[in-house]
């Protein structure tokens, strides 16, 4: 659901830009969209390693993977928050 909403938000921002809005709308949408491939290419492999039976047997490795996942999730959260803040600023400028 989150990925679909990010994709819809991205295409909506492109439509706004194509309709005459500032290029910053497209940039904010690009930030929102970038979390989708980041999740698929970077976070998903970590998730798969965490769910592997070997992770249950090697608690040190599991702890390292959980820490890595936490940092990766923080990156995704910050990028999404920056995109959201930029959208709010752009919206406020239009009012």
Mean pLDDT by 10 residues, the chain (95 residues): 93 96 96 96 95 88 94 97 97 89
pLDDT for 31 equals 96
The residue to which tokens 């290419």 are assigned: 41
pLDDT for 34 equals 97
List strand residue ranges (DSSP E) for 1-95, in order: none
pLDDT for 56 equals 81
Question: How many domains are contained in the chain?
Answer: 1
Domain coverage including residue 70? 2-94
pTM over 0.85: yes
Supply the DSSP string of 32-49, one letter for each residue. Answer: HHHHHHHIIIIIHHHHHH
pLDDT for 1 equals 82
pLDDT for 28 equals 97
pLDDT for 45 equals 96
Number of neighbouring beta carbons within 10 Å of residue 75: 14
CA neighbor of 62 nearest in space, from 72, 48, 44: 48
Q: Are 61 and 55 in contact (CB under 8 A)?
A: yes
């Amino acid at each position: 659901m989150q990925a679909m909403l990010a994709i819809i938000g991205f295409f909506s921002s492109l439509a706004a830009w194509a309709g005459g809005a500032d290029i910053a709308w497209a940039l904010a949408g690009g930030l929102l969209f970038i979390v989708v491939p980041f999740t698929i290419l970077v976070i998903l492999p970590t998730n798969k390693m965490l769910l592997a039976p070997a992770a249950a047997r090697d608690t040190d490795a599991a702890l390292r993977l959980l820490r890595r996942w936490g940092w990766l999730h923080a990156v995704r959260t910050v990028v999404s928050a920056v995109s959201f803040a930029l959208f709010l600023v752009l919206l406020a400028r239009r009012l």
